[in-house]
Homo-oligomer: A and B are copies of this chain.
Amino acid sequence: MKLGIIFGGNSYEHEISIVSAISLKKILFNLDIFIFLDTDRTLYLIPKDKMKAKTFSSGEYKKEKIVTLSNSKLLVGGGLFKPKEIQADIYINGIHGQDGEDGTFSSVLDFYNLNYIGPRVQASVVSYDKHLTKLYAKEMGVKTLDYVVIKKGEDISNIKLPFDYPVIIKPTTLGSSIGVNIVESANDLEYGLDIAYEFGNSVIIEPFIDGVKEYNLAGFRANDYYFSMVEEPQKAKFLDFEKKYMDFARTEQVFKAQISQDLEQKLKDNFINIYNTIFDGSLIRCDFFVVDDEVYLNEINPIPGSMANYLFEDFSMAIDLLTNYLPMQNRIDIKYQYIDAIHSAKGK
Enumerate chain A interface residues (CB-CB to B < 8 A).
10-12, 14-16, 18-19, 39-42, 53-54, 56-57, 69, 71, 98-99, 102-108, 110-113, 121-122, 124-126, 128-129, 131-132, 135-136, 139, 151, 201, 242, 245-246, 249, 277, 329-334, 336-343
In the assembled complex, the Cα of A99 lies from the Cα of B329 at a distance in Å of 11
In the assembled complex, the Cα of A18 lies from the Cα of B334 at a distance in Å of 12
Closest residue of chain B to A336 (Cβ to Cβ) is B57
Contact A343:B132 (CB < 8 A) given known A10-B331, A41-B71, A104-B111? no
7 contacts between A and B (CB under 8 A): A15-B338, A15-B339, A18-B339, A57-B340, A103-B122, A104-B121, A107-B107
In the assembled complex, the Cα of A65 lies from the Cα of B253 at a distance in Å of 54
Contact A132:B121 (CB < 8 A) given known A40-B71, A339-B57? no
Instruction: Please classify the interface of chain A as helix (H, G, I), strand (E, B), loop, or mixed, using the class held by over half of its residues.
Output: helix
Minimum C-beta distance from A14 to chain B (A)? 5
- Residues in chain B near residue A334, CB distance under 8 A: 14-15, 39
Contact A41 B112 (CB under 8 A): yes
Contact A105:B111 (CB < 8 A) given known A14-B334, A57-B336? yes
- Residues in chain B near residue A337, CB distance under 8 A: 15
In order of increasing CB-CB distance, the 6 nearest A-B pairs are: A107-B107, A57-B336, A125-B125, A135-B135, A104-B107, A103-B121
- Residues in chain B near residue A41, CB distance under 8 A: 71, 111-113
Contact A339:B39 (CB < 8 A) given known A98-B330, A136-B135, A334-B14? no
Minimum C-beta distance from A142 to chain B (A)? 13
- Residues in chain B near residue A338, CB distance under 8 A: 15-16, 19, 242, 245
Given A39-B334, A98-B332, 9 more A-B residue pairs with CB atoms under 8 Å apart are A10-B331, A15-B339, A39-B332, A54-B343, A105-B111, A107-B107, A107-B111, A132-B135, A135-B136
In the assembled complex, the Cα of A303 lies from the Cα of B337 at a distance in Å of 22
In the assembled complex, the Cα of A330 lies from the Cα of B136 at a distance in Å of 26
Minimum C-beta distance from A193 to chain B (A)? 17
Contact A121:B125 (CB < 8 A) given known A12-B332, A336-B15, A342-B53? yes
Contact A107 B103 (CB under 8 A): yes
Query: Contact check: which of B107, B242, B246, B340 meets A108 at CB < 8 Å?
Result: B107
Contact B332 A11 (CB under 8 A): yes
